[in-house]
């Protein structure tokens, strides 16, 4: 009986120490981690417990600045992709943008008239491109100065 009482007392003291360690005490660090998300439904039970998965995607469309060809770009290119596809590219020369627009027509089946293609290239050069570098002269300065 005496032993049991001692054991019970020890148990209570132990529980107290444990509670202090877990919930209190000056040394406790604040838990800044976000609350743990509920464990996902195991794959084997998904069909029974959570058969439909649906996400709502909000897109973040950047502004398209005014410029030559803006209308053609804003009505045709964005049918298939965000204007951000332009912004994530390097500042390409006209030649590269022309090839890209042609790729949209030839490879991806975009129906853009040759005139509209030209307007779109103008817009891309205006917004996020540059003119092609002047071709290097065939003769160098040393020989022409001779």
Q: Which residues bind other proteins (CB under 8 A)?
A: 31, 33-37, 40-41, 43-44, 46-47, 51-62, 79-82, 84-85, 87-90, 92, 96, 99-100, 107-111
Q: Whole-angstrom Cα distance, residue 89 to residue 128?
A: 8
> CB of residue 4 vs other proteins: minimum separation in angstroms?
31
> CB of residue 84 vs other proteins: minimum separation in angstroms?
5
Give strand pairing partners of 130: 93
Let me know: does 124 contact 101? Beta carbons within 8 Å.
yes
Q: Which two tokens stand for residue 94?
A: 């006209």
> CB of residue 11 vs other proteins: minimum separation in angstroms?
23
The residue (of 112 and 118) whose beta carbon lies closer to other proteins is: 112
Q: Whole-angstrom Cα distance, residue 75 to residue 43?
A: 42
Q: Whole-angstrom Cα distance, residue 135 to residue 131?
A: 12
The residue (of 13 and 99) whose beta carbon lies closer to other proteins is: 99
The residue (of 64 and 68) whose beta carbon lies closer to other proteins is: 64
């Amino acid at each position: 009986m005496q032993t049991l009482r001692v054991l019970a007392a020890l148990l209570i003291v132990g529980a107290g120490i444990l509670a202090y360690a877990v919930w209190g005490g000056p040394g406790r660090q604040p838990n800044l981690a976000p609350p743990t998300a509920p464990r996902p439904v195991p794959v084997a039970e998904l069909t029974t417990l959570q058969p439909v998965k649906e996400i709502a995607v909000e897109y973040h469309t950047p502004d398209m600045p005014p410029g030559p060809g803006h209308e053609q770009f804003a009505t045709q290119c964005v049918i298939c992709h965000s204007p951000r596809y332009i912004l994530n590219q390097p500042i390409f020369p006209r030649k590269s943008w022309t090839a890209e627009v042609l790729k949209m027509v030839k490879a991806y089946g975009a129906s853009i008239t040759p005139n509209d293609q030209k307007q779109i290239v103008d817009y891309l050069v205006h917004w996020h491109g540059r003119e092609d570098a002047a071709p290097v002269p065939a003769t160098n300065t040393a020989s022409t100065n001779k």
